[in-house]
Chain A
């Protein structure tokens, strides 16, 4: 698996307005019925997009002016609900490389990190400013700089936050965890040896 070093994510942006956008909306459950993640990019927000089409609106993911965007701008508690990794997988495969949001649901945040999809937070007012800017000028190029802790757009630079270790993980390309967890396996064995439930509680209690 590639362990790309990620520091700067640059590109056009897509504003995805709404609080508490859950992973059932990002990736409806029927698209989880597959033994691979392939093709999920086609189904991102599928039901929301159909609903928008029916009511003669244009969903941001269908809007021609946002095609090719690589930075998603989101509001509060993005990615809540189900732990389905299919949600960030779909976004990543669609072309999203970074999400700037007011806040993220914990499992979604962790799942995204596991595939090198950077989630950074900004204040509600800065998110609103970024969304407005992109809605006015969809061609605007944004630059999320993890090291500097900024998201820069033409005429507007806002501070963004990311937990230090998450930033380091992305910047050093160490976001593929399995290898790390398998290092020093003697320490894992030492932990399992001290767990009374793994020995059937055969000795006296600790």
Chain B
């Protein structure tokens, strides 16, 4: 009987079964940032522990960094405190830090792949639930809490329960104007926001196989929104081509050996899964969330649901919060803010696709629109292509790299009950920094379309070609 990638990676990294039951798993790469680590470093100091593998630990700043006026000290005293704390911790414990001003700074899940730190066959941990993003490379990547960050810092291991496997096969050609974001939002809508609890998701099928790495990252990124802590795509030539030549990727003969090993880690053809789900790409449409969790979404041509069935209370609550009426079409809903960015959709191909929609148009009157590249590297690459000019000419603000308005921990926040068309990952109440702010999740192209028209808009009316990111 064959093995899945998860089983192979698990077996290889398993240290032992702990006397308390869970598996002790070695972590091949630990990524850290300013928000979920200070208390973990404090615990190390209190107990007199060292960082076990500073050579396998990498830090950057993303969650609270301003996206303009980045001179130090930051205007926000608490943000300055957190950055200073991370700087001190990295210095004291010998951890490389890609700080403000470094060309390698960016959202932790964007820079890991860019630098080639993220590779197939690794176990990866980070104190952030979107760590599942790295699964796009065939890594097994876990979002962890601060106590587990302490565990990894001190021991380079975590204690974890084995996961069940669900394979989600996406097959067929995606229609024009339909993107990876629409695929994952559809998956979450069908399986539920808690449907993946206890599972790792393997995304497979020819649609996924044809996707570029950026699109695969979008899919894996939102695994956690479906309750699955881990999501991955088997590594293939697309993965290897992306990795070749990146700073932390071996070169020459070592790269050939790496490729052979990476290939061997992919799931076997006769691997067995606990559950299988099939999604037909041709049936998909652009998706928009209408509610207050990422599972509450509909196709762009659909109407907002009525509060019926077992979920009637949560549907009713969400409708009230969003100011929507059952039966109302989602298309045409007025927006106040358009946000393009985040670890879900803040990479170069996302910005290219949004720019393609924006070119020759202008942001609608009364709409605040901003583009926040996922990393300095994405920002520079976009600027080399002139995308910044395209966005600026259209009335968008062009910002510096960070998490920004995905979670509103920096000055980029919604105000009052503004409605935001967002390319990010969570539409939870209060998520974008205003307790009454309202978030509509959609693809970057859909955000661009909404920014131009001022209302939720079917991007298929604005694109003629098959999207570049998924071709």
**In the bound complex, how far is the Cα of B461 from the Cα of A171, in angstroms?**
60
B13 contacts A191, C-beta separation under 8 Å: yes
Which listed residue (A76, A164, A197) contacts B194, Cβ 8 A? A76
Residues in B with CB closer than 8 Å to A30 are 408-409, 433
Which listed residue (B148, B193, B254) contacts A110, Cβ 8 A? B148
Please tell me if A81 contacts chain B, counting CB pairs below 8 Å: yes
A20-B194, A191-B15 are contacts. A110–B409 as well, Cβ < 8 Å?
A: no
A164-B21, A196-B261 are contacts. A28–B197 as well, Cβ < 8 Å?
A: no
- Closest residue to B291 on the A side, CB-wise? A20
Residues in A with CB closer than 8 Å to B408 are 29-30
**In the bound complex, how far is the Cα of B128 from the Cα of A164, in angstroms?**
27
A165 contacts B198, C-beta separation under 8 Å: no
A111 contacts B147, C-beta separation under 8 Å: yes
Q: Of A32-40, A56-64, A129-137, A144-152, which binds chain B?
A: A32-40
Q: How many A-B contacts at CB < 8 Å in the complex?
A: 223
Residues in B with CB closer than 8 Å to A185 are 155
Residues in B with CB closer than 8 Å to A115 are 147
B21 contacts A84, C-beta separation under 8 Å: no
Residues in A with CB closer than 8 Å to B76 are 33
B428 contacts A81, C-beta separation under 8 Å: yes
B431 contacts A24, C-beta separation under 8 Å: yes
Please tell me if B95 contacts chain A, counting CB pairs below 8 Å: no
A197 contacts B293, C-beta separation under 8 Å: no
Please tell me if B327 contacts chain A, counting CB pairs below 8 Å: no
- Output the least CB separation between B27 and chain A (Å): 10
- Output the least CB separation between A183 and chain B (Å): 9
B311 contacts A19, C-beta separation under 8 Å: yes
- Closest residue to B24 on the A side, CB-wise? A181
Please tell me if B364 contacts chain A, counting CB pairs below 8 Å: no
A80-B193, A169-B21 are contacts. A114–B148 as well, Cβ < 8 Å?
A: yes
Bitwise interface map of A from 71 to 103 toward B, beta carbon under 8 Å scored 1, else 0: 000001100111111001000000000000001
A106 contacts B197, C-beta separation under 8 Å: yes
Please tell me if A155 contacts chain B, counting CB pairs below 8 Å: no
Q: Count residues of A near B (Cβ-Cβ below 8 Å).
A: 69
**In the bound complex, how far is the Cα of B78 from the Cα of A29, in angstroms?**
13
Interface residues on B, range: 35 or more
Please tell me if A125 contacts chain B, counting CB pairs below 8 Å: no
- Output the least CB separation between B292 and chain A (Å): 9
Q: Which residues of A (156-187) have their CB < 8 Å from a CB of B?
A: 163-166, 168-169, 172, 174, 177-178, 180-182, 184-185, 187
- Output the least CB separation between A51 and chain B (Å): 7
Residues in A with CB closer than 8 Å to B121 are 197
A165 contacts B28, C-beta separation under 8 Å: no
Residues in A with CB closer than 8 Å to B469 are none
Please tell me if B1 contacts chain A, counting CB pairs below 8 Å: no
Which listed residue (A25, A33, A84, A107) contacts B430, Cβ 8 A? A25
Residues in A with CB closer than 8 Å to B119 are 197
Which listed residue (A22, A104, A107) contacts B428, Cβ 8 A? A22
Q: Of B35-43, B165-173, B270-278, which binds chain A?
A: B35-43
Q: Which residues of B (149-196) have their CB < 8 Å from a CB of A?
A: 150-151, 154-161, 193-194
Residues in A with CB closer than 8 Å to B18 are 177, 180-181
A174 contacts B197, C-beta separation under 8 Å: no
- Output the least CB separation between B291 and chain A (Å): 10
Which listed residue (A19, A33, A182, A206) contacts B261, Cβ 8 A? A206
A-binding residues in B (CB < 8 A): 12-16, 18-22, 24, 26, 28, 35-36, 38-39, 42-43, 47, 49, 52-53, 56, 63-64, 76, 78-79, 81-82, 85, 119, 121-122, 127-129, 143-148, 150-151, 154-161, 193-194, 197-198, 224-225, 227, 229, 250, 254-255, 257-258, 260-261, 264, 293, 295, 311, 313-314, 317, 407-409, 426, 428-431, 433, 435-436
Q: A24-B429, A30-B409, A197-B122 are in contact. List 20 more A-B contacts (CB 8 A).
A: A20-B293, A24-B430, A29-B409, A29-B433, A33-B64, A36-B42, A50-B435, A80-B193, A83-B143, A105-B197, A107-B143, A114-B148, A177-B147, A178-B47, A180-B159, A181-B151, A181-B154, A182-B154, A197-B258, A205-B260
A-B contact pairs, 14 of them (CB 8 A): A25-B430, A28-B435, A30-B433, A32-B35, A35-B81, A77-B194, A85-B145, A107-B143, A111-B147, A192-B156, A198-B28, A201-B257, A204-B257, A206-B261
B-binding residues in A (CB < 8 A): 1, 18-20, 22, 24-25, 28-30, 32-37, 47-48, 50-51, 76-77, 80-85, 88, 103-107, 110-111, 114-115, 163-166, 168-169, 172, 174, 177-178, 180-182, 184-185, 187-188, 191-192, 194-198, 200-206
